[in-house]
A and B are shown apart, each in its own frame.
Chain A
Amino acid sequence: MHTFLPLFLLGLRKRSKDSFILFYNILFPAIIILLLGYLTVKSYSKEFTSYHYYTLVIIPFCALMGIITVAYVAKEDKLSNTSCRLLTAPISNAALVLAKFLSCFIVLALCNIITLGLSVFLYQLPMNNSFVPCAALLTMEAAVVTGIGLYLGYAFHKMEALKNFLNLPIVLWGLFGGSFFPIASNTLTLTTLRRFSPLTYINRSIFEAVYDNRLTLLTFLIVIFTLFSILLLFLTIKQFKKEAIL
């Protein structure tokens, strides 16, 4: 606890001032929603506009891209040469990893909620009392994203290799999850491919919550994400090696 608090507070301070995080988790999704919404405005109705659609699908997609951002956070001490000070200080691996996890999680979750709130306000999206459940889902998605990003960030030595490793699956998940345009499951192949995208389930749960007032899938996903993020945090702490940041 003695060393966790200064590490956590420093992490929180750095994340909240990180222009990269703020851009890719607030400004970038806002721009994409505006752009795609504008380009496809005639394909939707007045009650259910393109802006409504893209608000609900782009935010989870951009949240998922946070994996790469968090992986860079895992490497920041190596990049700033401060890792030797941290590793020679009386700090446990658990304090080091937990501080990074919580600081990233809190800031990413806040970014997601802010983006959702702004979009709901700007585009008059009728959330029908589902804002809080959707915000909770995006919060736990931030937890999973942080867990995956930290785990991979410490596991991979080279950031370029990690980026190349992650970019394609994330884009494919976005594609088959309907983040760029609605995907109809016309063929068996498409149906199967959609099943492998976590965004399929996230987007479906959000739409069910907003338009059908059904929270079953959403609640299930919140529980799964919570458990998965705790597992990832535990694994990251257990498998943390000093060489990862030296």
Chain B
Amino acid sequence: METILKVTDLKKSYHGKEVVSGISFQVFKKDIIGFIGPNGAGKSTTINLLTALFPPDTGQIYYNQEDIHNNLKSYKRTLGIVPQDLAFYEDLTAYDNVSFFCSLYRYRGKALKYQVKEALEFVGLWDRRGDYPTTFSGGMKRRLNIACAIAHSPELLIMDEPTVGIDPQSRNHILETVNTLNQRGTTIIYISHYMEEIETLCNRILLMDKGTILEDTQKTDYKMKYKSLGTGSLEDIFLKLTGTALRDAND
């Protein structure tokens, strides 16, 4: 299996509190990694470090064996992010939104138009390309959010709770989209609190809590390992490992 992303001993502190405590893991090509953990586990901070939003205090992140901070622009061109919050301009049409964000990755002219058409067709919004997001349903907005992230054909896609607040039909469509993306060669890091999504989509589980990685394993191995707990449900395993106490902190 080809390693495309390698994280080594990553640490990050905010206001004297260590939020990410020396984590290490690898991402292999064509993985769909279910990145799970309670609120305040450090997932969002880890994602911020992976997307080079902030530098780590210590540790390295390698993409295709090269430290990402040696050539950030080159790394960022291969990256796509579907943020948890809807991130597009309400005063631009669906087409213009996707076109703008794709153009930031050096696409121009016919190539740009092609990429935009592909992305909007892929998420099922081509017929609504001339409409403004204010006229979209919640599910359509989520799909536009995804289109803006995939238009430039990223090699590594990070999806932060892409199905929050939408109906089962839209969620199902998005999950199918994620699968198709992966079959086409995109490696995906998928963050979700919906264990059934992780169960359906992911081949690997990365469980994080209190700044550390508790589990980094294939999904089937993960379930086998905790079979002795008397359940094969990901959610039950999750609660057994992280506890049932309320977590009110932000990530």
B116 within 8 A of A: no
Chain A 78-111 interface residues, beta-carbon cutoff 8 Å to B: 80-82, 84-91
With known contacts A6-B100, A17-B91, A88–B81 Cβ distance under 8 A: yes
Q: How far is the CB of B93 from chain A (nearest CB, A)?
A: 12
A42 within 8 A of B: no
Distance in angstroms between the alpha carbons of A84 and B76 in the assembled complex? 12
- On chain A, the residues within 8 Å of B83 by CB distance are 81, 84-85
B103 within 8 A of A: yes
Q: How far is the CB of B18 from chain A (nearest CB, A)?
A: 19
Query: Quick one: CB contact mask for B50-94 with A, threshold 8 Å, 1 for yes?
Result: 011110000000000000000011101101010101111111100
Q: How far is the CB of B225 from chain A (nearest CB, A)?
A: 34
B110 within 8 A of A: no
With known contacts A6-B104, A81-B83, A242-B54, A88–B90 Cβ distance under 8 A: no
**Count of CB-CB pairs between chains A and B under 8 Å:** 59
CB of B101 within 8 A of CB of A89, answer: yes
B123 within 8 A of A: no
CB of B104 within 8 A of CB of A82, answer: no
Q: How far is the CB of A157 from chain B (nearest CB, A)?
A: 16
- How many residues of chain B have a CB within 8 Å of chain A? 28
With known contacts A81-B83, A84-B53, A85-B81, A91–B89 Cβ distance under 8 A: no
CB of B53 within 8 A of CB of A90, answer: no
A195 within 8 A of B: no
Query: Closest chain B residue to A5 by CB distance?
Result: B103
- On chain A, the residues within 8 Å of B73 by CB distance are 90
CB of A81 within 8 A of CB of B105, answer: no
Distance in angstroms between the alpha carbons of A90 and B149 in the assembled complex? 13
CB of B76 within 8 A of CB of A90, answer: yes
Query: Closest chain A residue to B97 by CB distance?
Result: A82
Distance in angstroms between the alpha carbons of A82 and B89 in the assembled complex? 7
Distance in angstroms between the alpha carbons of A90 and B103 in the assembled complex? 11
B148 within 8 A of A: yes
CB of A90 within 8 A of CB of B54, answer: no
B17 within 8 A of A: no
Query: Quick one: CB contact mask for A24-47 with B, threshold 8 Å, 1 for yes?
Result: 000000000000000000000000
- On chain A, the residues within 8 Å of B149 by CB distance are 85
In the complex, 14 of the A-B residue pairs with CB atoms within 8 angstroms, ordered by the A residue number, are A3-B104, A6-B100, A6-B103, A14-B89, A17-B91, A80-B87, A82-B87, A85-B148, A88-B52, A88-B53, A89-B101, A90-B74, A90-B77, A242-B53
* A80-B90, A86-B104, A246-B53 known, 14 other contacts, Cβ within 8 Å: A6-B103, A6-B104, A14-B91, A17-B91, A82-B87, A84-B51, A84-B53, A84-B85, A85-B81, A88-B51, A88-B76, A90-B73, A90-B76, A90-B105
